[in-house]
Structures are given as structure tokens and as C-alpha cells.
Amino acid sequence: MKCRFLLFTLLFIGLGFTAIGQNNISLLNVFYHRLNFASANSSAESYFLYRQSLSKRFIGNPYLESKWQNGLLISKEGKTYEIRGRYRIFDDEVQILQGRNIKALYPHSLQGILLGSSVFISAKWETPSGIDYSFFELIVDGEVKLLRKYKLDVRETRDNFLKIKDRTEEYFYIKDRNDVALPVSLTKAGLMRMMNTHYDKAYTYVQKMNKKSEEDLIGLFHYYNKL
């Protein structure tokens, strides 16, 4: 209990110093209350949540944060586990430490993950091989969720290293009916297609906002979810 209280205390203190962090404080509160201050389950009980992570050779940083971070995860059954983890952008893999072994979490087995200063949830999205589960960083919670998806520009070298060229970001939202994450088009028409209710108020807001501003996009989702 002391460890978890300290973990959250450190997270809130750290988040207070960044603008993005301040936007996420309410999200961390949601996770904190969802846990109901319950004791975390033993990591030995979490074997069904992960598989062995495949080792790959990189030139550059394939992780969102390369250092291992303290965190918590909530399973589909509502059990909570303290973890040390990191997110590998290259193959959309949340890795955790089990002793000296690196494991990869199954996204379909989780409600959410609090990892460092980020919250990740799983959702279905369309891939070339069909609909599958994936991890998304939760930016704004509510009826319409704003999510961030990271992608890397990767090139394979002649000696079988994976060279990281660049990182790009895409935004998505989750449709409630089928829990599928769809890309957000940063145009007036594209944004309005997501606003199924309170259309007139949302339209007024969208007209005034800077469509290229991440801060304005976050503000739109906060505003719409409060209507």
C-alpha cells in the first residue's frame, strides 16, 4: 500500500511540471479511483497477461521512454498489478519485467495501464490482416476518447539491425458501439463527423480552433465531453 501511494504521489508531482501532464491529471484520477485503493495482486498471478518478448537489434531508440518505469495495470477482470514497464513503439509492445525476463503484454487482456506519466488502453483497429487489438495512449477520457498512436520510420540494415529514422504521431478516437479506434481527420468536416450530439455547440468551437494545434484538439475533446 505504501509503495502504491508513493508511486502515485511521485507521478502527480512529476506531472505538475508539464502542460501535457496537467491535461492528463484527471485521467490518472480516473485510474486511481478505479483501483479503489485495493492491494495489488502478486505479479506471479499475472502469467496469463503476457508472452515472451522477442529480442530485436536497433540503431536508435524504439521506445517511447527507454528506461523502465513504475506502473500499474488493470486486467479485464479488474485485478491490479504493480509493474516495471516500457512501451516499444516499433511493434506496439508494452513490455514488463518478470525477474530478469522481458515479457510482452496482451492488449486484449487489459483494461488499462498506468506507465510512468502515460495511460494506455487497448482498442480494436483495422490492420492489413483485419481487425485486431492494439495499444493507444489515452489523451482525453470521456464519451469520445482522444488517443495517440505512435509510429516509427524504420529501415533494415544489411547486418539485420533495425535503424530508427523518425517518429510520427496519429490521433484516434474510440467509437462506443464497437470499441474500434478510427483516425481523426484534422479538418472541420472530419472533426464534426465525430460530434454526434451537441452539434451546434461543437461546430462553433471547431470553427474558432486552430486545426493544427494539439492543445486546441485536446481542448475540443475536453469541451465536447462536458456538454
Element (H, E) at 68: none
Rounded to two decimals, what is the model's pTM? 0.80
Instruction: Give the sign of the dihedral formed by CA 77, CA 7, CA 118, CA 33.
Output: positive
Q: Which three cell numbers, joined as nine digits, stand for 26?
A: 484527471
β-strand partners of 113:
73, 120
Give me the mean pLDDT over the 141-150 stretch. 88
The number of beta carbons lying within 10 Å of the beta carbon of residue 40 is 18
54 to each of 88, 95, 141, 190, how far by Cα in Å?
11, 10, 32, 38
Domain boundaries, the chain: 2-184, 185-227
Q: What cell numbers appear for 94 in the block?
A: 508494452
Q: What is the pLDDT of residue 95?
A: 93
If one compares 21 and 87, the residue with the highest pLDDT of the two is 87
Q: Which residue(s) pair with 151 in the sheet?
A: 168
Any bridge partners for residue 168, and if so which? 151
